[in-house]
Amino acid sequence: MEGHSQEDGEAGLTDGGVGAEDSDLGGDLDSDLGGDLDTELDSGVDSGVDDEIGAELDDDPEPVGGSLTDPPEEEEEETGDGKLSTGIEILDNPEYLEGGFPKGSVVTLMADPIATAELFLYDLAETRKTHYFTTSRPKAAIEASLDQMDRAMETINIVDLYATDGPVNEAINALDEVGENENIIFDHMTDVARYDRFERVLNEVYEVTSNTDSIAYLYVITPTDAELTYSENKIPYASDVVMQMKTAVEGEKVENRLSITKLRGMTPPEKTIKLNIGEEVEIDTSRDIA
């Protein structure tokens, strides 16, 4: 609009010049008064309107929900405080994790061989896109188990390390596919620890998890009658979080208890969680009898 006003002002001055040829005094007055008045009115009014409109537009509140140019918010399982939900309600509640694990966490799950820890992993995998590395069973067996337990298979990308001759290279290459705020699950990491380049995989897991704000769950089988090897012990040592699942047979009932023994940057909860592991993980509300 200001450009338009300048053209109007120039036009007024030109008309004044023509008027001066017709009449010296009248033309000069017309030129001075008319041209200047036109210029002042046009530029003043137009620029004033522009300024007012511009100011109004600047002061205009954004539409509800944010600017139209803002990207839509992702429906991610985030808690708003830099954490990602585990998808298991009892774990996420304020008494334990207060919303989930911090983004970028590497979590070791240590469980007895007789525990059905893989069912626990299936629940974790359903929460968001998950890269599920299987080392002890073929991909088809994992898919059959997920289908039998009615898990959401569309969120799970199974990486088969069981059927490959080079599991270390396969794992490292597959980790390059991990995106923002996703899950990495190794079922189980005990097998990977047997390889010479195991530490390379562990370092890659830690780096990828940190760079993508994801969560990695590394399942380690704890033997009942032996200690962990030196390599196996490196897994919980390097992890940000360590969870232990203990399984015992009490009379006619199998009892599973989950404890969080390491929680880097936070105080681990004192209480253990008594779990029922079946079609889904639930808290066992039955009372302990001394």
Half-sphere exposure of 217 (CA within 13 A, CB side): 27
Q: What percent of the chain has pLDDT over 90?
A: 48
Q: Where are the alpha helices (DSSP H) in 60-132?
A: 89-92, 117-125
| Residue 274 confidence (pLDDT) | 86
In tens, the pLDDT along 174-191 reads 999 999 999 999 999 999
pTM score of the predicted model = 0.71
Do 198 and 165 contact (CB within 8 A), yes or no? no
| Residue 266 confidence (pLDDT) | 84
Structure tokens at 153: 């298979």
| Residue 122 confidence (pLDDT) | 93
| Residue 11 confidence (pLDDT) | 40
| Residue 145 confidence (pLDDT) | 93
| Residue 225 confidence (pLDDT) | 78
φ, ψ dihedrals at 231, nearest 5°: -65, -40
Helix, strand or coil, per DSSP, at residue 280: coil
| Residue 256 confidence (pLDDT) | 86
The widest CA-to-CA distance across the chain, in whole angstroms, is: 121
| Residue 54 confidence (pLDDT) | 46
Q: Edge-to-edge strands of the sheet including 273-277? A: 156-160, 130-134, 183-187, 215-221, 106-111, 241-250, 253-263, 273-277, 281-283
For residues 229 and 251, what is the distance between their CA atoms, to the nearest angstrom? 32
In tens, the pLDDT along 200-259 reads 999 999 999 999 999 999 999 998 777 899 999 999 999 999 999 988 887 878 888 999
Do 235 and 108 contact (CB within 8 A), yes or no? yes
What size, in residues, is the chain? 290
| Residue 279 confidence (pLDDT) | 56
| Residue 70 confidence (pLDDT) | 45
Decide which of 3.30.300.20, 3.40.50.300, 3.40.640.10, 3.40.50.2300 is the CATH code for 83-283: 3.40.50.300
Q: Which residues of the chain have pLDDT under 50?
A: 1-76, 285, 288-290
Helix, strand or coil, per DSSP, at residue 168: helix
With 0-12 / 13-18 / 19 or more C-beta atoms within 10 angstroms meaning exposed / middle / buried, residue 97 is buried
